[in-house]
């Protein structure tokens, strides 16, 4: 017997939330998903983690634990084509992204960052530094918290209002000079919370030295009027930073931002 899965409800931003985004470059929605929908999303993340790592499927990237040198999953990208739940979720999240883009949103990329115990952090950066301006003028990334994200396990930290400065530098993390006047605000989140931010909002996060994983899902959108770039984005990325299973053992791959 096939069990029907109830799809998560679509979060819609209030006027006050849209205003907060316009002021800060990001907005936090507490309990964007109710408990049942959050449990569904957590189960989907578990399913994605359990999928076999195969050529031509979801993109799995590993890292080495900073605690004990074990092999960890760092992130899994390009999930929706191989998981119907996440495919639905990319549609659902497009509504709020479209509210901030002020027109229909089209998916650009998506991933789960796992940050398992011993997983590394992220240096301060703006997402557009990764060459995204080649595809569209700006993007909205929607983050869904899957596991509790705390100060201890490396929650997201964002710098309010700094997106208005535009692109601060190319393919390298922001420097101390770039960030000296910035305040990074830690945003601890509970499963089911959502954070939306644009591609010029500087953000960072600390490594996870705790015993619990900190998974978050990110879906990134651009304006439909600026084109549908997901296939080109992943084709370009495949050339420089392919999933681990596709890598040439004689080549060195460097993660930039």
Binds ligand AKG (CB under 6 A): choice among 20, 80, 106, 156: 156
Contact status: 215 vs ligand AKG (CB under 6 A): no
Q: Directed axis angle between helix 84-101 and helix 15-24, to 10°?
A: 80
Q: Is 122 in the site for ligand AKG (CB under 6 A)?
A: yes
Long-range contacts of 55-60 (CB under 8 A, 24+ apart): 55/245, 55/246, 57/82, 58/82, 58/83, 59/234, 59/242, 59/243, 60/243, 60/244, 60/245
Q: Give yes or no for residue 132 binding ligand AKG (CB under 6 A).
A: no
DSSP 128-167: GGGTGGGT-S--EEEEEE-S-B-TTTT-EEE-TTGGGG--
**Is residue 197 within the footprint of ligand AKG (CB under 6 A)?**
no
> How many angstroms separate the CA atoms of 112 and 108, rounded?
14
Q: Is 196 in the site for ligand AKG (CB under 6 A)?
A: no
Report the residue number, 165 or 173, with the smaller CB distance to ligand AKG. 173
Helix (H/G/I), strand (E/B), else coil: 45: helix
CA gap 183, 162 in Å, rounded = 9
Q: How far apart are the first and last CA of the chain?
A: 46
Round to whole Å and give the CA distance between 207 and 120. 4
Q: How far is the CB of 187 from ligand AKG (least distance, A)?
A: 10
Considering only residues 54-93, where is the footprint of ligand AKG by CB under 6 A? Answer: none
**Binder among 90, 128, 163, 205 for ligand AKG (CB under 6 A):** 205
- Decide whether 32 or 155 has the Cβ nearer to ligand AKG: 155
Nearer to ligand AKG, 66 or 224 (CB): 66
By beta-carbon proximity to ligand AKG, the closer residue of 63 and 127 is 127
Among residues 169 and 224, whose Cβ is nearest to ligand AKG?
169
CB of 180 to ligand AKG, least distance (A): 20
Site residues (vs ligand AKG, CB under 6 A): 113, 122, 127, 154, 156, 203, 205, 216
């Amino acid at each position: 017997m096939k069990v029907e899965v109830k799809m998560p409800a679509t979060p819609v931003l209030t006027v006050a939330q849209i205003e907060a985004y316009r002021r800060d470059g990001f907005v936090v929605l507490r309990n964007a998903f109710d408990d049942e929908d959050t449990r569904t999303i957590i189960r989907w993340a578990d399913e994605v983690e359990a999928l076999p790592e195969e050529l031509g499927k979801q993109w799995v990237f590993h890292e080495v634990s900073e605690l004990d040198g074990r092999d960890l999953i760092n992130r899994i990208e390009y999930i929706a084509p191989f998981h119907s739940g996440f495919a639905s979720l990319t549609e659902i999240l497009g509504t709020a992204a479209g509210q901030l883009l002020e027109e229909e949103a089209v998916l650009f990329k998506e991933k789960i960052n796992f940050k398992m115990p011993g997983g590394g952090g992220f240096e301060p950066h703006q997402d557009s530094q990764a060459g995204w301006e080649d595809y569209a003028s700006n993007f909205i990334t929607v983050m869904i918290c899957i596991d509790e994200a705390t100060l201890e396990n490396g929650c997201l930290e964002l710098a309010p209002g700094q997106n208005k400065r535009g692109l601060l530098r190319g393919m390298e993390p922001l420097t101390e000079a770039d960030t000296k006047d910035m305040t990074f605000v830690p945003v601890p989140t509970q499963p089911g919370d959502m954070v939306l931010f644009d591609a010029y909002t500087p953000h960072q996060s600390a490594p996870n030295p705790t015993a619990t994983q900190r998974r978050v899902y990110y879906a990134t959108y651009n304006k439909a009027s600026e084109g549908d770039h997901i296939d080109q984005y992943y084709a370009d990325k495949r050339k420089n930073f392919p999933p681990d299973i596709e890598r040439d053992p004689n080549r060195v791959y460097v993660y930039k931002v």
